[in-house]
Amino acid sequence: MWIKTKGKIAIKFFRNIFGRGKNSPRELELSNFILGPTVGTGSYATVCLAALRGDTFAQTDDGNSASSLLCGSSSSDLFSTNGVGMGDVKNGKDEHYAKLSHIVDHHDGRRYGYRNGLHGESIGDSEWQSARNSSASDIMNLSPSCNESYTSPLQGYTNLNQEDNTSQSNDFSPALFTCALKILHKRKIVNDRQTKHLLNEKRILESINHPFIVHYLGSFQDPINVYLILEYVPGGELFTYLRRSTLDLYTTQFYASEILSALDFLHSRSIVYRDLKPENILLDAQGHIRLVDFGFAKRIRNKTFTICGTHEYLAPEIFLRKGHDKSVDLWSLGVLIYEMLVGEAPFYDKDPQRTYRKALENKIYFPPYISESARSIVEALLRVDPTLRLGSRGMAEVWSHAFFRSTKFFGQSAPIKPVINGIWDTGNFLEYPEVWRRYHERVTKVEQERFFSEF
């Protein structure tokens, strides 16, 4: 499980044990993990909950132990948010995001355009079941000095006794570090011409750090698959909550603000996300969001012409092949705000072509209960002409809209509280089949050197 700390500290530690450092003792391989249930599948990716085995841990390059590296900063350094306000967020300053950042369990999964396209059955691994039954004292096996320097993320879990977290041992339990293991089949990636998207995902994730974006922790590979190690977020997809009920105005404003914060951060670094939808927004143990699945994300200078995304969230300039920029994310945000309030996308049709026609006609039906500020923000974000779209002159334009101006979300408790029965709980996700083990076809030596040498 991820303890609350600065993302860069945890990332440094994991890259060292993943064989990235000069003196790292070993390369990471699949046998270093206890594999848990599959929590997501896609066209060429499967996501499993996993835990690093205890014998994987070793000293880092500078001789520090795992506990001293992860717990070397004081809690005041890690969690102080004094002076962090909307103005600081809009400036996109790394130090403010680092102070807000905390790593707690996370999952990454993808629908590839099908709202119910994931299917499944969980893994019945006896070793995993044993790990699930670990007590809090088994899991949080930290030294007293380490315990004094951080706030435990076990707060908020319903069945763990934090008074047990006082072990004198400096060793880490085999079950301490859980993660989401994203497994990507090389042959399918090459066949589907997704190699650039995979490289973009890795390069972008390893270069960013934001409290509302999934943390990337490393990668490794074998002859058949590439494995991305990500934080595991146990609260499930926003999509699941929207299937149960629409959201009230405040809840919609709260989550739209966190999403906008993540998009603002990405856009300030010339990154367009291009796959905003409820399936790619997960809730952590406290109910705050993590934006996941960066397979379609891309660094751009001006315009790009790749057609990608999910049809009911596509901005017109994408499906019209006119070239697009970061404003496509704002169109998707408008669709998402409407969906959170109403329960379905404004232009949705099973036939993508009909969805596109409806988007161009731009006739949006608003139920009577929709507030004036919500109606206004949706209409402003869903303008067909991207040069007239709210935010086309900068994110400050979006933040200043009445819909966001009235919402205080930093430092506030999230309106949705996921039910999580322990650190191994996957109950907020559907169950999916373990399909990734069925693939055995390998890439050629030339393909390996050309497409996968970075992993």
Residues catalogued as catalytic: 275
For β-strands 45-52 and 281-283, DSSP reports them as: unpaired
Contact 428, 419 (CB under 8 A): yes
* 436 alpha-carbon distance from chain centroid: 21
Minimal CA–CA distance to 148: which of 76, 210, 214? 76
Who's near 157: CB < 8 A, 6+ residues apart? Answer: 285, 420, 421, 422, 423
For β-strands 216-221 and 178-185, DSSP reports them as: unpaired
What single letter denotes the amino acid at residue 230? L
What single letter denotes the amino acid at residue 225? N
Between the alpha carbon of residue 300 and those of residues 195, 270, 309, 327, 333, the distances in Å are: 18, 6, 16, 12, 19
What single letter denotes the amino acid at residue 29? E
Contact 411, 81 (CB under 8 A): yes
> What is the helix (H) or strand (E) element at residue 291, kind and residue range?
strand 289-291
d(CA 92, CA 360): 33
d(CA 204, CA 196): 12
DSSP 304: B
Contact 127, 53 (CB under 8 A): no
Between the alpha carbon of residue 36 and those of residues 39, 52, 129, 162, 283, the distances in Å are: 9, 11, 8, 24, 19
Contact 34, 125 (CB under 8 A): yes
d(CA 394, CA 327): 9
- Residue 359: which region, alpha, beta or left (left: phi > 0; alpha: psi -120 to 50)? alpha
Question: Vertex 69, ends 68 and 71: CA angle to 5°?
Answer: 65
d(CA 260, CA 250): 15
What are the b/e assignments for 133-144, b being 16+ CB within 10 Å? ebebbebbbbbe
